[in-house]
Amino acid sequence: MAPRPVVLVTGAARRLGREIALHLGARGFDVAVHYRRSAADAEATLADLHARGAVAAGFAADLADEASCRALVPAVVARLGRLDAVVHNASLFEPDHAADFTYAAMERHWRANTAPAVVLAQALHDHLAARGAAEPGCVVNLLDQKLWNPNPDCVSYTLSKAALQCATTLLAQALAPRVRVCGVAPGLTLGSAQIDDAKLERLQAQALLGYGARPADIAQAVHYLLTARAVTGTTVLVDAGQHLQPHDRDFGYLA
Ligand SMILES: NC(=O)c1ccc[n+]([C@@H]2O[C@H](COP(=O)([O-])OP(=O)(O)OC[C@H]3O[C@@H](n4cnc5c(N)ncnc54)[C@H](OP(=O)(O)O)[C@@H]3O)[C@@H](O)[C@H]2O)c1
């Protein structure tokens, strides 16, 4: 019997990362659950994965720290025996504007959102090469519909995701044929400090389709890309059409 593929999901303790991890665990993947501070939530995600019959283990790392990020793939391979795919879902989101922009804010976002994707993709490539893997591995980076529908809010976050989108293209070129590199760009899917449940429901109802993306829709797209052997260097937008509806402010600032 072929061994089950192993996927590393960053930021998998809570919210979309947890949903992606559980979705993949129920569909034949063993899962490396990465987290930073949410240790208790990571334990709950692991328990739910084990209940679904997946092999799963937790890995704590601050991806903004280069040495910690570089240590992650070797730790996963040492613990789970192999690695076949990476979903870079972890993300920093701190709203700012051109008026209060700082180098420090931009650096924080790039260190969490952008640079780890390059390091983790290269590490996956090197592992697959050392293993002599016959099939390509895959990286899926979580982007954002706002890259197709820009507004000037959240400038550091948006710049980091725009660079991640570009990195998705560059890595697809650089790491072929061993690694496919793709993106999933969610629309407004979950609430936040600025968006409570009532506001989320109201904003999602305004999407072209009359409803918003659910966490399961994002996870389904990630699974598709992980298993789509002829797809690389492209992004699937999962946003019920929000990128086709220009907004002059970020959702957090809309009524
Ligand atoms: N939610 C949405 O509606 C939406 C919309 C568009 C795009 N997206 C994208 O989809 C992805 C998931 O969204 P989300 O809202 O579920 O994400 P989130 O809750 O904002 O963040 C996910 C996790 O990222 C981890 N993280 C942050 N900085 C880190 C660092 N320096 N090192 C390691 N981990 C770090 C945190 O882990 P710990 O808690 O363990 O510290 C956090 O739980 C993100 O990439 C986001 O940009 C989401």
**Per-residue confidence (pLDDT) for residue 2, from 0 to 100:** 84
Residue type, 49: L
Give the DSSP per-residue string, 49-107: HHHTT--EEEEE--TTSHHHHHHHHHHHHHHHS---EEEE---------GGG--HHHHH
Query: What distance in Å separates the CA atoms of residue 26 and residue 184, rounded to the nearest whole number?
Result: 20
Q: For each of the chain's 255 residues, which pLDDT tens digit applies?
A: 788 999 999 999 999 999 999 999 999 999 999 999 999 999 999 999 999 999 999 999 999 999 999 999 999 999 999 999 999 999 999 999 999 999 999 999 999 999 999 999 999 999 999 999 999 999 999 999 999 999 999 999 999 999 999 999 999 999 999 999 999 999 999 999 999 999 999 999 999 999 999 999 999 999 999 999 999 999 999 999 999 999 999 999 998
* Tokens 């400038």 found at: 155
Structural domains for the chain: 6-253 (3.40.50.720)
* Tokens linked to 234: 């492209």
> Ligand 1 atom closest to Cα of 218?
10
Q: What is the pLDDT of residue 255?
A: 81
- Separation of 133 CA from ligand 1 center, angstroms? 30
Instruction: Measure the CA–CA gap between 253 and 121, rounded to whole angstroms.
Output: 34
Structure tokens at 36: 């930073």
Give the model's pLDDT for residue 1.
77
Distances in whole angstroms, Cα of residue 53 to Cα of each of 30, 47, 74, 228: 9, 10, 24, 24
With a Cβ cut-off of 6 Å, ligand 1 is lined by: 11, 13-17, 35-38, 62-64, 89-93, 112, 142, 144, 186, 188-190
pTM for this entry: 0.98
Closest listed residue to residue 251, CA positions, set 225, 220, 212 = 212
- Evaluate the CA torsion angle 58, 188, 183, 100 in order and state its sign: negative
